[in-house]
Structure 1
Amino acid sequence: MTAAYAYAGNGDHTTSYYAASANTRTLRPALKGDQTFDVCVVGAGYSGLSTALHLAEQGHNVAIVEGARIGWGASGRNGGQVVNGLNASLQTIKRRYGQDTANFVAGLVMEGGDIIRDRIKTYDIQCDYKPTNLFTACTDAHMRELEERLALWQGYGLNTQEMVSKDKIKDYVGSDMYAGGMIDHSGGHMHPLNFALGEADAFEKNGGTIFEMSRVIDVNYEAARPVVKTETGTITSKTVVLCGNAYLGKVVPKLTSRVMPVSTQVMATEQLSDEQANRLLPTDTCVEDIRYILDYYRLSADNRLLFGGGTVYGGADPRDIEAKLRKNLSKVFPELANVKIAHAWSGNFALSFSRVPQMGRLNNNTYFAHGYSGHGVTGSHTFGRILAEAISGDASRYDVFEKVPYIPFPGGRMFRVPYSIIGSWYYDIKDRFGL
């Protein structure tokens, strides 16, 4: 591990299935010298790529600065599930922030998925996209929760979901574990790293510039024209957008305590036969249960089961990822109890205490977005568009999110991990006993 990339090893992608099956390994040059752009985006994950691509399409001169490789963090490691909504429910948002805010959020919870599908079509991004996602219920209490969620969403005019009874759940999942579920026909799943790489290519086709292996060590956002500094260069711009999320670290101290890094794990089996794959997931949808600490899984394009779950508050990697996940895999699919695991990896997402993503400014020309709390695939793309709108002069949607109150973790950085662990124990007990 070098000093330059202490947070990212040597800066290369983790040893995931996605990295092993990436469409391209092209390395962009590092930032060198002093350069000037209209907009500098820090972070080449989904938030940064979405914001930058929208801006480049509008004619802005944009650079992305990435400390490692494109999609190195959560954007290239996640479960690949295109799930609508935020972590916090519409009911929670209504209770905390009022009906007007809930109406606003309901109007954009499906936008991120639409942006993803539009990008895939417009730029012919080869990322193995497949439609629909399924939420599964492990208990009757979970089924009631899903029924309430369905009714809530329909009350806002969102009608892409339908319940799946216990008798019908095996049409979708070859497991005896579930009491039913709910399918979302507007969800989907994809190869997340290849999608990020495709967005990067699209950004460059629109005139954008990407600097990889360029770890940001300082951001002077108090200057009239903010300056982003790496170890080998600087970028001075009219506007900076900070999209480091769980991996921004202490570069911008004002943002460090706003979110907590949380690691989640994924593993990929060896290739399964067509017969076995069809038996496990007959409709090739992606699945996640609705427990507090959930399992999520899907088939890859080459018939591997990608199975994820578990959380480690604070962002540490488990010593043995396979051992951590195999127990739950065997519960869901007993026939895979002894299946060979070809890849296993871990990665961090940024958790906000409210489970609502945060968007704001440190001054008039330095924006940030983070804290998707496990729903970043779609949320980051919606936020990227909203940030681009604000930078281009239309701050109407940005202003709504900026006004959502920020709720700090109780006890601050020192106690956020133990507080979250205790909370997870409580919800795990409720899930286990069907409460």
Structure 2
Amino acid sequence: MNALSQPANGHVASYYAASANAHAPYTALEESISCDVCVVGGGYTGLSSALFLAEAGFDVVVLEAQRIGFGASGRNGGQLVNSYSRDIDVIERQYGVDAARMLGSMMFEGGGIIRERIQRYAIDCDLREGGIFAALNQRQLKGLEEQKALWNRYGNDRLELLDRERVAAEVGSRRYIGGLLDMSGGHVHPLNLALGEAEAIRGLGGRLYEGTPALSIEHTDPARIKTPKGEVVARFVLVAGNAYLNDVEPRLKARSMPCGTQVVATEPLSVEQREGLLPNGYCVEDCNYLLDYFRLTRDHRLLYGGGVVYGARDPDDIEALIRPKLAKTFPQLKGVKIDYRWTGNFLLTLSRLPQFGRLAPNLYYMQGYSGHGVTTSHLAGRLFAEAVRGQAERFDAFASLPHLPMPGGRRFSVPLSAMGAAYYSLRDRLGI
């Protein structure tokens, strides 16, 4: 069966939706209200922003068109991966030393924010420490050696290079010749993290509305956000819809492209099986351009994802796309039953760096994490809260980066991106 066709409590029927923590519902907005800050989007960017602001005493409203964590925040691989989709060495080459120094000073902050939230608000989201970047060839292994040196320069001293023997002891696959273990990485149940943050916002007096899309935003002071049955008047507005943003702000669509990634979760594995796969419970992602990623869940399933569908089309058969990848990595799981299969969209930018900025003095946007959204979106929330409070230096470090339009617009960016991906995938296969 295709899990996409079977919604679960308003979410796609993923493993995460099936194992989500119970919580009191959020109603739709059906009146006119006012607030200090209105956040459009109930994913990590919006939730992190709203929580920082609620902690600072702001009156915050969150509008979510579907359900809290409906998009990428509730469907992703759950891995806490540091830095950005383009690392600091690339940022330095393209944008200069000052930009690299500023962004580098924040590259490990998002993971710390997540851990602090989990501890402060007792969020039950299956946090496990440690993540491995796995190399399939010598070129990738050399890249990991360079990455370790780079990240050491910016303060991450929790890294260990793994040779073939050590990576084999951590990952029960013959595909990898080495790896980099980052103990400041890790993994979580992403939907339960989002739900826990929403509960924290509600506990601080913030107001959250589900089933409430923003239909229009008036660029006035204060701003006015129209919804199907209500209106919000706000001093500040944050647009944080990412890949699930509708046409409420068309200018943002030309600068990015939604892309889909596919994930499956197996039946629960035996003790022998899971100890033969990931004995210490680390999450793993390989170093390919179109990478695979996997980890074990709390109830002992293997969660395996990979591949990209440019333009965010839902594939007809998710299992047919992922099972060959899983079998290549773990041939010992041949024939294992797949209990869940789903897809979700992330937002890709041409630079592969997030896009922060202002559409008006009181109207902000943050989007386009290009596959590195779990940690960076939590950093983004802190930066937006700082900007609202008049301390915009760190927000502006991102806002000053060029936000290039996708070549050919949305229509032609899909085939062009697919052609580029095919080229880099060939390089990965050839190890060059």
Shorter-chain TM-score category? over 0.9
Q: 2:375 aligns with which of 378, 383, 392?
A: 378
Write the mapping of 1:326-337 to structure 2, written as runs, cut at 5 A: 326-337=323-334
Q: Secondary structure at the match of 1:406?
A: coil
On the 8 A contact 2:7/2:13 being kept in 1, the answer is no
Write the mapping of 1:18-167 to structure 2, written as runs, cut at 5 A: 18-167=16-165
- 1:243 matched to 2:215? The reply is no
* Structure 2, gaps ≥5 residues long: 1-5
Q: Which residue of 2 aligns with 1:394?
A: 391
Distance 2:267 2:204 in 1: 38
Distance 1:127 1:107 in 2: 27
Distance 1:156 1:41 in 2: 32
Q: Which residue of 1 aligns with 2:286?
A: 289
State the 1:9 CA deviation.
7.9
Q: Which residue of 1 aligns with 2:429?
A: 432
Write the mapping of 1:282-361 to structure 2, written as runs, cut at 5 A: 282-361=279-358
Q: 1:183 aligns with which of 169, 181, 184?
A: 181
On the 8 A contact 2:8/2:18 being kept in 1, the answer is no
State the 1:25 CA deviation.
5.0
Q: Which residue of 2 aligns with 1:422?
A: 419
Task: Figure out how many residues of one structure are paired with residues of the other and give that number.
Answer: 427
State the 1:105 CA deviation.
1.2
Cα deviation, 1:54-109, whole Å, max 9, x if unaligned, reads 00000000000000000000000000000101001111100111011111111111
Q: Which residue of 1 aligns with 2:3?
A: none
% identical equivalent positions: 49
- 1:271 matched to 2:265? The reply is no
State the 1:243 CA deviation.
0.5
Distance 1:11 1:344 in 2: 16
- TM-score under structure 1 normalisation? 0.96
On the 8 A contact 2:8/2:17 being kept in 1, the answer is no
State the 1:256 CA deviation.
1.1
Q: 2:205 aligns with which of 207, 211, 228?
A: 207
On the 8 A contact 2:110/2:377 being kept in 1, the answer is yes
- 1:280 matched to 2:302? The reply is no
State the 1:412 CA deviation.
2.0
Q: Which residue of 1 aligns with 2:229?
A: 232
Q: Which residue of 2 aligns with 1:261?
A: 258
Q: Look up the equivalent residue of 1:371 and give its one-letter code.
A: G
Cα deviation, 1:190-239, whole Å, max 9, x if unaligned, reads 1000000000000111110000011121111x212111111111101000
* Structure 1, gaps ≥5 residues long: 1-7
Q: Which residue of 1 aligns with 2:401?
A: 404
**RMSD of aligned alpha carbons:** 1.3
Distance 2:291 2:210 in 1: 33
Q: Secondary structure at the match of 1:167?
A: helix
Distance 2:403 2:213 in 1: 28
On the 8 A contact 2:289/2:428 being kept in 1, the answer is yes
Q: Look up the equivalent residue of 2:404 and give its one-letter code.
A: I
Q: Look up the equivalent residue of 1:314 and give its one-letter code.
A: G
Q: Secondary structure at the match of 1:386?
A: helix
On the 8 A contact 1:171/1:283 being kept in 2, the answer is no
Q: Secondary structure at the match of 1:187?
A: strand
Q: Secondary structure at the match of 1:168?
A: helix
Q: Secondary structure at the match of 1:282?
A: coil
